[in-house]
Amino acid sequence: METLKPILFSDCIPVKGVNRSIICDTQNNKYYFIPNGLYDILKTYYGETIDFVKKEFNNEYDEIIDEYFVFLSSKKLIFFNSSPDLFPKINLKWNSPSLVTNMIIDYDDIQHDFEDIIQQLEDLKCSYIQLRFFKKTNLNFISNLIQIVNDKKARVISIDFILPYDDSFSKKELDELLNENPRIHAIIIFNAPKEKSYDAIWKKMGYLMFVKKNIINEKHCGILNTEYFYSNIKLFSESQQHNTCLNRKISIDKNGNIKNCPSMPQSFGNVKETTLLEALEHKDFKKYWNITKDQIDVCKDCEFRHICTDCRAYKENSEDDYSKPLKCGYSPYTNEWKEWSTNPLKQKAIEYYGMQDLVKRDD
Ligand code: SF4
């Protein structure tokens, strides 16, 4: 037993913040808080026995060290083996054969040529699409859009629909839509009278969610909180070298303008005259793709930085590409979450982006 050494499962990856650390269980979409002292032990004494670690601390902290490893075992984050070299670390290099991996298309009054867009997306090898509707639509229209994807035999494997609440939608019709279309990852209905979520119809696909929040335009995007954390190896590895919101993303805003994200000001041409590939080849299109959380002010000190997505559209300092996302209320220095919109230090940016109506008020 003395020769057995604690080994972290390779998909359980510790991340150090300024005050505390987390271990990201990227297999099970979970994370666990640990003190920075334990993070340092895991890094410094990797491949050593627990007795060795205790001796390194002159046996003054044996009880605490035992507690640490009991905790890690109880959460199934470690196992014991005498040959740690047999268990290499996970490779965190991220790559994709797709020129674009994900797309957002916003709908308001203008109808986009969806058939043409899907053909272009197919050429770019894009697999994930999100369609946001700011105005009411009908389920036949949604079905027709999916039919276009089916007819093209496109490689799109996941479509999210974000739709305004409409009391003419019955749960039965929505279920039928999900049942008949396994490419739908989720239908999220906003401005609903009450919050309600239903289980996925298939494993990790076919979610139906009703949320009370109203989404009247793209300014409602970019909120960062624990609900948007994803502890998975794709995001974790992508975040090492790339931006977790904009990397390999392309968007069409409600007016047909091709952008990095619909919330960003720069347009690379209108989809009526410019192809997605032409927009991608513009010298500025990829300028945010490699801004990592390790480079962003405040985020670089945050323990959540590899499971949190980013937002470069709305920043605390609109002129600084490396400024913290405006709509995050977390401080890694105090480990507290606070309402972002009422933070006095954010008011200038809120005004700049014209988001005064998003500020939460007590009255
Ligand atoms: S500080 Fe940055 S990394 Fe941390 S939760 Fe906020 S946005 Fe995410």
Query: Is a pLDDT exceeding 50 seen at residue 276?
Result: yes
What the block records as the tokens of 126 is 């894009």
Interatomic CA distance for residues 46 and 43, integer angstroms:
6
* Residue 329 alpha carbon, nearest atom of ligand 1: 6
Pocket test for ligand 1, best of 24, 299, 311, 326 (most atoms within 8 A of CB): 299
Q: Strand 20-25 vs strand 12-16: parallel, antiparallel, or unpaired?
A: antiparallel
Residue 292 neighbours by CB under 8 Å, 6+ apart: 239, 240, 241, 242, 243
How remote is the CA of residue 330 from the centroid of ligand 1, in Å? 6
What the block records as the tokens of 52 is 């060795």
What b-and-e string marks burial along 183-199, b requiring 16 or more CB atoms within 10 Å of the CB? Answer: ebbbbbbbbbeeeeeee
How remote is the CA of residue 347 from the centroid of ligand 1, in Å? 19
Pocket test for ligand 1, best of 18, 310, 330 (most atoms within 8 A of CB): 330
Query: Is a pLDDT exceeding 80 seen at residue 234?
Result: yes
pLDDT for residue 129: 97
pLDDT, one tens digit per residue, over 123-172 is 999 999 999 999 999 999 999 999 999 999 999 999 999 999 999 999 99
For range 65-79, the mean pLDDT: 97
How remote is the CA of residue 305 from the centroid of ligand 1, in Å? 6
How remote is the CA of residue 307 from the centroid of ligand 1, in Å? 9
For range 29-52, the mean pLDDT: 97
* Residue 296 alpha carbon, nearest atom of ligand 1: 2
State how far the alpha carbon of 318 is from the alpha carbons of 303, 325, 356, in Å.
24, 10, 15
State how far the alpha carbon of 105 is from the alpha carbons of 23, 27, 158, 204, 230, in Å.
35, 30, 14, 22, 22
Task: Reduce the secondary structure of the chain to three states and give it as a string.
Answer: CCCCEEEECCCEEEEECCCEEEEEECCCCEEEEEEHHHHHHHHHCCCCCHHHHHHHCCCCCHHHHHHHHHHHHHCCCEEEECCHHHCCCCCCCCCCCCCCCEEEEEECCCCCCHHHHHHHHHHHCCCEEEEEECCCCCHHHHHHHHHHHHHCCCCCCEEEEEEECCCCCCHHHHHHHHHHCCCEEEEEEECCCCCEEECCCECCECEEEECCCCCCCHHHCCCECHHHCCCCHHHHHHHHHCCCCCCCEEEECCCCEEECCCCCCCCCCECCCCCHHHHHCCCCCCCCCCCCHHHCCCHHHCCCCCCCCCCCCCECCCCCCCCCECCECEECCCCEECCCCCCHHHHHHHHHCCCHHHCCCCC
Task: Evaluate if pTM is beyond 0.75.
Answer: yes
Q: How far is CA 109 from the centre of its chain?
A: 28
The residue nearest atom 1 of ligand 1, judged by CA position, is: 299
How remote is the CA of residue 77 from the centroid of ligand 1, in Å? 24
State how far the alpha carbon of 82 is from the alpha carbons of 50, 67, 74, in Å.
12, 21, 20
pLDDT for residue 363: 44
Provide residues with CB under 6 Å of ligand 1.
224, 293, 298-299, 302, 304-305, 308, 324-325, 328, 330, 332
Query: Is a pLDDT exceeding 60 seen at residue 2?
Result: no
pLDDT, one tens digit per residue, over 294-310 is 999 999 999 999 999 99
Query: Is a pLDDT exceeding 70 seen at residue 1?
Result: no
For range 209-228, the mean pLDDT: 85
Pocket test for ligand 1, best of 16, 18, 19, 304 (most atoms within 8 A of CB): 304
